Amino acid sequence: MSHRALLPASFALLLVPFAAAQALHVEVTSSAAPGNCSVRVTGEPGRPWALYFSELEAATAITPQITIDVDPTRQLASGNFPHGVLPASGQAVVSFPIAGGFVGRHWTFQAVSGRPSLELSNTARAVFLAPASFGPTAYGAVGLSVFGDLFPLDGGRMLAIGGAGPVASTWEPDRQELLPNGLLPFNLTFAARAQLADGRVLCAGGLDVTTQQPSAEAWLYDPATGTAESVGPMGSPRAGAAACRLPNGKVFLFGGLSLIDITNPATLFDGILATSELFDPATNTFTAGPSIAERKAFATATLMNNNQVLVAGGLGVAPIVNLPFVSNLAWTYSATNNTFGLFPKTFTEGRMFHGATKLSDGRVLLTGGITADLSGVLTTGDITQIAFVTIGSTALYTTSGLGSFSVGPVLLETRAFHTATALDAQKTFVAGGFNGTLDIGAILSGTPVLPTALATSELLTPGQPAAAGAPMAASRAGASALRSPLDGRVVVIGGGPVAIELYQP
């Protein structure tokens, strides 16, 4: 970019008839400090453009007909006024250096285009963050969700669904705001969610907040309209099932709880399922899928680069003795053959509520989670003495050969209900969660001791020790995280009634 003084002739693009349009768009693609701030201006090729920016947001009239949302007083005084003509690609990139002293400050950008009619772009905000650090959004947006999901939408937007009651929201990266997207006609905890190829999201099963029992209902939520359509029902009620979209467009669902009876500890876990179902968006129907020899709830299902699904970990029930345990087994499902592999793959430590991250090189990293401590049960014979404890081990799955697990880096802190986001082919970013013990006896007696939520983060690279990451401003567990395709930052939403935070790699 050239910082050119604004010539009088440049105002000519502003002195044209006003015609509101949506084609002109600005988005910030880099804002690390120190580093370069890059802003992409997109619009109709051949049209002149000018970019305004300021630390202040205020309605400012720059001509009698035109009011923008930024205050360009300092910009105009300095003569730093990026402008030009959009090339054949319809895109121009403005880039300028940002000093380290800008960390924590934010700017707002807006573009104007003229001839034959005037267009005003959206406003786009940028917060300048130091590398390897967390920071707030421009105006401290809050995300109220626990155990929800984030799904990518067009233009770097994200859909936050689940974990916030009946409210679905959209993360708008340009304005750095979480905006309501619609009210859901259902309120189900531990539902299975998967995004279809067209952007809609399947929400299947979950724990009905009214009956406190697993549900068989299923819905398709359309973020484009903010509405949900009832589909299904599933063949069985399921809460805590695993789900992922297959290459053929169908959704694979496995396991979960079909029944919960908290009045009888001996049968508390009898409703765990070993069955699967397939949802076909072409017909909006569910069909039965294959089963395995192990019942699982709260497992993970990860689509791998070989188009197989890795179903890992979860809460199970040991046959004959009928004792709950946390699985250290993973099964592979083939969408091509609609079958599971004959034999499971083993990893060193059973886990549920863990992270399962597919790296870009095709491997899958399982991180942390909760395992079961049966020592109290074996000593007393009382199933209520089971305790669930967080763990710090990780396991790395590779598809080469017949597929196998190896031991991954050990976390610096035991944690579960954390976020685990791939940063590149090797590195996984782990943040938040909680650590401690869940005592079933204490929970059933009405005096639970809650584990401690974490504000810490870690960076994991296979073959290397875990490295401490930057702390978040708030402790959170059950948050959702997704890496932005615009600037590469990790957006962390929810995990309690806390502010959204951005991680700058």
Which residues are within 8 A (CB) of 447 and not within 5 positions of it... i.e. 6 or more apart? none
Backbone angles phi, psi at 448, to 5 degrees: -70, 145
Contact 272, 319 (CB under 8 A): no
Residue tagged 């750095």 (tokens): 176
Task: Report CA dihedral (149, 153, 157, 159) to the nearest 10 degrees.
Answer: -30
Which phi and psi (to 5°) does residue 340 adopt?
-90, 155
User: pLDDT tens digit string along 382-422?
Assistant: 766 778 899 999 999 999 999 999 999 999 999 999 999 99
With contact defined as beta carbons under 8 Å apart, do 53 and 126 qualify?
no
The amino acid that residue 75 corresponds to is Q
For the stretch 34-50, pLDDT in tens is 999 999 999 999 999 99
pLDDT-derived band at 273 (thresholds 50, 70, 90) equals very high
Unique residue bearing structure tokens 């950008």: 109
Q: Match 């013990």 to its residue by tokens.
A: 437
d(CA 439, CA 435): 13
Pick the CATH number of 8-129 from 3.40.50.300, 2.60.40.10, 2.20.130.20, 3.40.50.150: 2.20.130.20
State the Cα–Cα distance between residues 145 and 139, nearest whole angstrom: 19
- Classify burial at 447, counting beta carbons within 10 Å of its beta carbon; exposed 0-12, middle 13-18, buried 19 or more: exposed
131 has a pLDDT exceeding 60? yes
Task: Please provide residue 364's backbone torsions phi and psi, each rounded to the nearest 5 degrees.
Answer: -120, 130
pLDDT higher than 60, residue 451: yes
Q: Nearest CA to 422 among 353, 350, 505?
A: 505
CA 498 to chain centre: 16
pLDDT-wise least confident of 124-128, 268-272, 408-412: 268-272
**Percent of the chain residues past pLDDT 70, beyond the cut:** 91
Is a pLDDT exceeding 70 seen at residue 22? no
pLDDT of amino acid 117:
76
Tokens of 457: 């983060």
Contact 469, 481 (CB under 8 A): no
**Is residue 18 pLDDT above 60, yes or no?**
no
**Residue 448 pLDDT grade (very low, low, confident, very high; cuts 50, 70, 90):** low
479-483 and 490-494 beta bridge pairing: antiparallel
Tell me: the pLDDT tens digits for 229-269?
999 899 999 999 999 999 999 999 999 999 987 666 666 67
Has residue 143 got a pLDDT over 90?
no
CA distance 148 to 162: 4
Please report where in the chains the tokens 């791939």 appear, as a residue. Answer: 422
**Which tens digits make up the pLDDT trace of 452-485?**
899 999 999 999 999 999 999 999 999 999 999 9
Question: What integer best gives the mean pLDDT of the chain?
Answer: 90
Give the mean model confidence (pLDDT) for residues 344-357: 97
How far apart, in whole angstroms, are the C-alpha atoms of residue 408 and residue 312? 15
How confident is the model at residue 440, as a pLDDT? 67
pLDDT at 390: 97
Q: Which letter does DSSP use for residue 267 in this model? A: G
CA distance 246 to 307: 7
pLDDT of residue 19: 40
Four-CA torsion 468, 471, 474, 477, nearest 10 degrees: -20
Q: Give the pLDDT score at 21.
A: 43
Question: Could you tell me the pTM of the whole model?
Answer: 0.91
Q: How far apart are CA 317 and CA 286, in angstroms?
A: 26
Alpha-carbon distance 170 to 281, whole Å?
23
Domain ranges within the chain, ordered by starting residue:
8-129
Neighbours of 268 (CB within 10 A): 21
Within 10 Å of residue 177's Cβ, how many Cβ atoms?
Answer: 16
Which pLDDT band, with edges at 50, 70 and 90, does 174 fall under?
Answer: very high
- Please report where in the chains the tokens 């650590």 appear, as a residue: 435
Helix, strand and coil content of the chain, in percent to the nearest 5, comes to 5, 45, 45
User: For 333-354, what is the mean pLDDT?
Assistant: 96
What's the CA gap between 251 and 333, in Å, rounded? 12
Contact 231, 280 (CB under 8 A): no
Vertex 451 angle, CA 379 and 498, to 5°:
165
Single-letter residue type at 349: E
pLDDT at residue 171, as a whole number: 97
Write the single-letter amino acid at 130: A
Cβ–Cβ < 8 Å for 238, 254: no
Q: Is the dihedral of CA 173, 187, 228, 290 positive or negative?
A: positive
| DSSP letters spanning 337-393 | TTEE-SS-EE-SS--BS-EEEE-TTS-EEEE--EEEE-HHHHHH--GGG-EEEE---
User: CA–CA separation, 109 vs 412, rounded Å?
Assistant: 40
Please report the DSSP string for 147-171 in residue order.
Answer: S-EEEE-GGG-EEEESSBTBEEEEE
CA distance 487 to 160: 19
User: Cα–Cα distance between 282 and 126 in angstroms, integer?
Assistant: 41
pLDDT digits (tens, 9 = 90+) for 283-342: 999 999 999 999 999 999 999 999 999 999 999 987 766 778 899 999 999 999 999 999
In this structure, are residues 330 and 322 in contact, taking their beta carbons and an 8 Å threshold?
A: no
Q: Regarding beta strands 490-494 and 467-468, do their DSSP bridges make them parallel or antiparallel, or are they unpaired?
A: unpaired
338: left (phi over 0), alpha (psi -120 to 50) or beta: left
Check residues 64 and 128 and name the one with the higher pLDDT.
128
